[in-house]
């Protein structure tokens, strides 16, 4: 029973709170989930969210019509066992606040609160008890607020010190004060964590890091190539690409001067081809502006084409021991769990905050080791898309998510934008053991790469043959039609592949045999998955 587990997870601070907890547990055992309903004869469970501003100096409250007093926000569970979700929902409904997150998902207090007799939607409600469960929430102040007219008015931020003068329910003032004190204590714990993590991570890294080819030296070209390849690509997949790339292009000059088709062929299969195009632009800048020597200043590195803050930080710290952190998804996940931070890690302000926290513990003596240690911890222990290996973590005694069993709830990411679906007919035109390909436009998706001829939408067999005729290939036989799918970041291609044997190699296309397609033309995976 989820409800029972949630109440059992509350750690009382006082003997009175222990008694309250036990009383609520007995009621749950007696009434089961009936205790979540408003018509339960013994009273029912409600969920409140005490909302503080990020600086913890103000609280979001409203004037409640039932109590005729300023107070916190919350509402009835109404059958819902996930009490934290109820508190979150009710705060939003009662205030219209949009940006809101948990300081912690641990229950901060359980209180038995009297409710006076009142009317609700014109019907009398007798006096009864609320078994109120409270959570701590944070919301930025600069948001539009709105009342919930049938329940409250004058939703606003007030100074914490104003609570005693504005709240006309004397029994609620100590409740608010104890919860605010607990939230302030938790916030202080979070602030101390960055200082505590540095040495354990540095001690852990030498014995536990993976032996990766780009860690053999501090050559900025090698680190740069590996970091760009590792974007959106698994480590194991990158190893062979990295080796092949450096064998073909051993230094910055070779990359700067490489013909585009050869460059794209080396990158084939890694996807996101603009990555390697930008690398070549950056290499050309290094040759022209820095006389072939990779720059050793963070701002100069950041200004190179295709290099963002993370990659610039990685090169700066790993290669030059500059005290600049490199904050990527791995590092954000580690920090979000360590501090049990429920903010959206895709929010730039959150990333900036974590970066500033790390800057305070970086110095020029071990910046490179610290950067790689954080990367390694996120990749091998505090892993994504699975259960983190907390028992093997050197920071488990410090980690607030581990202590509160919330590691699987973190990090918080806002939902990804739904992918758009496009439908395409792909043509595999075969003539004299050669296949037709053509160059894509220089702008847009897969810009400048080679492709199989294609059209928008699914064509009927008759229409597909007519299209091939319009291309002057003189189709002779429809061999087969198959279906394939390819998923990009924001687009899904649903593809119908039409295989046609043709009589004429139309000059509209380049005609290549299979061996040439493998070695010479950088045909993206979206098309290779069709004809292979």
Give the Cα-Cα-Cα angle 21, 25, 31 (nearest 5 degrees).
Answer: 140
In a shared domain, residues 266 and 119: no
Q: At 393, list the tokens.
A: 């973590």
> Inter-axis angle of helices 220-230 and 274-289, to 10 degrees?
160
Q: How far is CA 164 from CA 67, 158, 177, in A?
A: 15, 11, 9
The answer for 82, left when phi > 0, alpha when psi is -120 to 50, beta otherwise, is: beta
Torsion, Cα 521 523 528 532, to 10 degrees, reads -10
Q: 27: domain CATH number?
A: 3.90.79.10
What pLDDT does 1 receive? 62
User: Quick check: is 113 in a domain?
Assistant: yes
Same domain, 349 and 323: yes
- Residue 436 shares a structural domain with residue 293: no
Residues 424 and 384 in one domain: no
Q: How much is the pLDDT for 475?
A: 96
Instruction: Indicate whether 183 belongs to any domain.
Output: no
| Cα radius of gyration (the chain) | 31
The answer to whether residues 212 and 338 belong to one domain is yes
Q: Write the burial class of residue 235 (CB in 10 Å: 0-12 exposed, 13-18 middle, 19+ buried).
A: middle
Q: 395-422 pLDDT, tens per residue?
A: 999 999 999 999 999 999 976 667 889 9
Closest Cα partner for 155 from 84, 76, 64?
64
Give the max Cα distance, the chain. 92
Task: Report, as residue numbers or ranges, the catalytic residues.
Answer: 227
pLDDT for the residue numbered 269: 86
Contact 241, 272 (CB under 8 A): no
154 and 90 housed in the same domain:
yes
Indicate the Cα dihedral angle 378, 380, 386, 389, nearest 10°: -100
* pLDDT score recorded for residue 286: 97
Domain that holds residue 518: 420-531
Q: Are 477 and 464 in contact (CB under 8 A)?
A: no
Domain count of the fold of the chain: 3
Q: CATH number for the domain including 296?
A: 1.10.340.30
Instruction: Say whether both 158 and 221 belong to one domain.
Output: no
User: Which run of H or E residues covers position 239?
Assistant: helix 235-248
- Secondary structure (DSSP) of 112-152: EEEE--EEETTEEE--EEEEEEEEEEE--SSS-----TTTE
Q: Say if residue 411 is preceded by a cis peptide, omega within 30 of 0.
A: yes
What angle (nearest 5°) sits at the alpha carbon of residue 295, between those of residues 290 and 300?
Answer: 100
CB contact at 8 A, 226 and 238: yes
The predicted structure's pLDDT at residue 516: 86
Nearest to 77 by CA among 67, 88, 69: 88
Q: How far is CA 241 from CA 111, 213, 268, in A?
A: 60, 11, 9
Following DSSP, what letter does each residue of 21-50 receive, concatenated?
HHHHHHHHHHHGGGGGSTT-TT-EEEEEEE
Bridge partners of 129?
114
Low-confidence ranges of the chain (pLDDT < 70): 1, 121, 415-417, 532
Question: Looking at 168, 189, 224, which one is the last position of a domain?
Answer: 168
Tokens 């603009």, residue located: 274
Q: Which of 140, 168, 196 is the last residue of a domain?
A: 168
Q: Both 249 and 364 in a single domain? A: yes
Write the DSSP string, 57-81: SEEEEEEETTTTEEE-EEEE-TT-S
Can you give the pLDDT at residue 488?
Answer: 84
Q: Are 81 and 33 in contact (CB under 8 A)?
A: yes
Residues 337, 248 share a domain = yes
- CA dist., res. 60 & res. 62, Å (int): 7
Q: Specify if 184 maps to a domain.
A: no
Model pLDDT, residue 121? 67
Say if residue 211 is exposed, middle or buried (CB neighbours under 10 Å; 0-12, 13-18, 19+).
exposed
The pLDDT of residue 167: 95
Q: Which of 388, 409, 430 finishes a domain? A: 409
Whether 364 and 323 have beta carbons less than 8 Å apart is answered as yes
Are 70 and 114 within one domain?
yes
How much is the pTM?
Answer: 0.80
């Amino acid at each position: 029973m989820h409800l029972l587990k949630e109440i059992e997870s509350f750690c009382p601070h006082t003997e009175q709170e222990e008694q309250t907890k036990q009383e609520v547990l007995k009621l749950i055992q007696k009434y089961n989930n009936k205790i979540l309903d408003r018509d339960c004869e013994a009273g029912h469970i409600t969920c409140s969210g005490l909302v503080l501003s990020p600086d913890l100096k103000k609280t979001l409250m409203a004037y409640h019509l039932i109590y005729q007093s300023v107070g916190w926000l919350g509402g009835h569970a109404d059958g819902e066992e996930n009490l934290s979700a109820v508190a979150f929902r009710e705060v939003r409904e009662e205030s219209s606040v949009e940006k809101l997150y948990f300081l912690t998902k641990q229950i901060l207090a359980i209180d038995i609160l009297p409710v006076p007799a009142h009317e609700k939607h014109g019907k009398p409600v007798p006096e009864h008890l609320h078994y109120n469960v409270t959570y701590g929430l944070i919301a930025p102040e600069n948001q539009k607020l709105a009342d919930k007219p049938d329940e409250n008015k004058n939703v606003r931020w007030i100074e914490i010190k104003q609570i005693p003068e504005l709240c006309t329910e004397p029994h609620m003032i100590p409740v608010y004060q104890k919860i605010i004190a607990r939230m302030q204590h938790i916030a202080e714990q979070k602030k101390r964590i960055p200082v505590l993590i540095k040495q354990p991570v540095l001690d852990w890294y030498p014995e536990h890091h993976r032996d990766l080819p780009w860690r053999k030296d501090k050559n900025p070209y090698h680190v740069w190539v590996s970091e760009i390849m590792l974007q959106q690509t698994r480590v194991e997949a990158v190893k062979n690409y990295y080796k092949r790339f450096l064998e073909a292009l051993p230094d910055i000059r070779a990359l700067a001067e490489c013909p585009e088709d050869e460059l794209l062929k080396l990158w084939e299969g890694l996807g996101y081809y603009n990555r390697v195009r930008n690398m070549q632009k950056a290499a050309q800048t290094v040759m022209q502006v820095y006389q072939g020597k990779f720059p050793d200043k963070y701002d100069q590195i950041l200004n190179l084409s295709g290099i963002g803050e993370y990659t610039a930080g990685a090169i700066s710290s790993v290669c030059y021991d500059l005290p600049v952190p490199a904050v990527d998804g791995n590092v954000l996940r580690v920090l979000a769990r360590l501090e049990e931070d429920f903010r959206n890690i895709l929010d730039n302000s959150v990333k900036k905050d974590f970066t500033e926290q790390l800057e305070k513990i970086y110095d020029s003596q071990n910046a490179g080791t610290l950067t790689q240690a954080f990367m390694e911890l996120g990749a091998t222990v505090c892993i994504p898309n699975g259960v983190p290996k907390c028992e093997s973590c050197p920071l488990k005694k410090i980690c607030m998510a581990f202590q509160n069993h919330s590691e699987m709830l973190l990090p918080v990411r806002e939902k990804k934008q739904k992918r758009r679906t496009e439908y395409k007919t792909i043509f595999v035109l075969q003539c004299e053991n050669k296949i037709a390909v053509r160059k894509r436009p220089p702008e847009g998706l897969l810009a400048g790469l080679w492709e199989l001829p294609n059209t928008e939408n699914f064509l009927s067999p008759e229409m597909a043959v007519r299209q091939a005729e319009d291309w002057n290939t003189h189709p002779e036989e429809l061999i087969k039609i198959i279906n394939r799918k390819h998923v990009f970041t924001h687009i899904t291609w649903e593809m119908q592949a039409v295989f046609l044997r043709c009589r004429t190699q139309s000059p509209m296309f380049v005609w290549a045999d299979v061996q040439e397609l493998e070695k010479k033309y950088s045909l993206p995976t979206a098309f290779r998955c069709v004809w292979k």
